[in-house]
Amino acid sequence: MNMALMMTIFTTLIMGTLITLISSHWLLMWVGLEMSMLAIIPILMNKNNPRSIEAATKYFLMQATASMIMLLSIILTMMFSGQWSIMYSTNQIISLILTISLIMKLGLAPFHFWVTEVTQGTSLIPGMILLTWQKIAPLSILIQIYPTINQPLIIISATLSTLLGGWGGLNQTQLRKIMAYSSISHMGWMLIIMFYNPSISLFNLLIYIMLTITMFSTLLINNNLATLSLSHVWSTSPPVIIIILMNLLSLGGLPPMTGFSPKWIIIQELMKNDNIMIPLIMTILALLNLYFYMRLTYSTTLTLFPASNNTKTKWYFNMNKKMIMTPPLITLSIMSLPMTPMFMILN
């Protein structure tokens, strides 16, 4: 892929998301989603092999189906209301159809199966874009229409996403699939708080994107794709061990890491709205995610591969160009918890 074509594709990808974010017209928002969908397909197929082509095909079929359902809800909104504005309150049937389409685009349960397959079928950088940037536009639409969407559907989908995102990652050895299941679980936390405080969903999305980019950047240093390869990292890149350890603990939501702050705020906000069972269930289900994060931590830091030589570590390391952005990212990923009270005051 030459540079001009790459710049065109990434510009289209960014512009599609920005059009969706700044538009108040239903048709323009749909066009922005379609631009993002069509732009990421060549990115998913950056390696010309059958697995990446299969992943791109699955992504296209799922996103095209969700787009058709969303277009149906937009046309029905125009027919019943005569307006194209997103601020217009639609009836419950149209809102249900629109919510289902956005849940499919986000990869939430029970429409989550494509996320793991597509992420596993592509390389690390396209997988990172799929799990971070592509979540922004559909989630922004959900936040804008949250007063009219079906609350029981959102609660069921968020709870199932947290359950299946933790359960599905328990027996996985492929790191890309583990990050995909982690994405499904985190999206459930963003969805459950949307009715009570949408700004907390945005805060959770920001923290999730930061942690996910940090994790993928760390895996990209040595091109780690499986759990087994993590046990070899300590002999080639010892600093990476500490980075992976702290980032995994932050993804699991353990204090005093940054990942604890969104879960803390969400549980506190749900308790303020007299919800006891929902935060209790979400907290218990989050332990499933914490379990496979701890499995990765064990594979990275507590496992030594068999070696016959006495010298198991290097004395000199070359600074990899891929590590340029890693220090500031890991600093934000593990040390941003003290800024949480500031966010709560602004909120």
Domain limits of the chain? 9-122, 150-306+318-347
Local structure of 248: helix, strand or coil: helix
Is residue 315's pLDDT more than 50? Answer: no
Q: What is the pLDDT of residue 187?
A: 95
Q: What is the pLDDT of residue 308?
A: 47
The string of pLDDT tens digits covering residues 48-97 is: 888 999 999 999 999 999 999 999 999 998 888 878 887 655 678 888 99
CB distance 154 to 145 below 8 Å: no
Look at 32-41, 100-109, 242-251 and tell me which has the smallest mean pLDDT.
242-251
CB distance 231 to 300 below 8 Å: yes
Range with top average pLDDT, 224-228, 284-288, 315-319, 337-341? 284-288
Over range 267-290, report the average pLDDT. 89
Local structure of 212: helix, strand or coil: helix
The string of pLDDT tens digits covering residues 220-256 is: 887 888 887 887 777 777 777 888 888 888 998 888 8
Local structure of 172: helix, strand or coil: coil
Give me the amino acid identity at 179. M
Look at 91-95, 173-177, 189-193 and tell me which has the smallest mean pLDDT.
91-95
CB distance 63 to 40 below 8 Å: no
Percent of the chain with pLDDT over 90: 46
* 227: enclosing H helix or E strand: helix 227-230
- Kindly indicate the confidence band of residue 347, based on its pLDDT and cuts at 50, 70 and 90: low
Quickly list H helices, 223-325. 227-230, 233-236, 238-251, 260-272, 277-301
Residue 218 CA to residue 328 CA, distance in Å, equals 12
Mean pLDDT for the chain overall: 85
| Of 15 and 231, the one with more pLDDT | 15
Q: What is the pLDDT of residue 134?
A: 95
* 89: enclosing H helix or E strand: none
- Kindly indicate the confidence band of residue 149, based on its pLDDT and cuts at 50, 70 and 90: confident
CA gyration radius for the chain?
A: 21
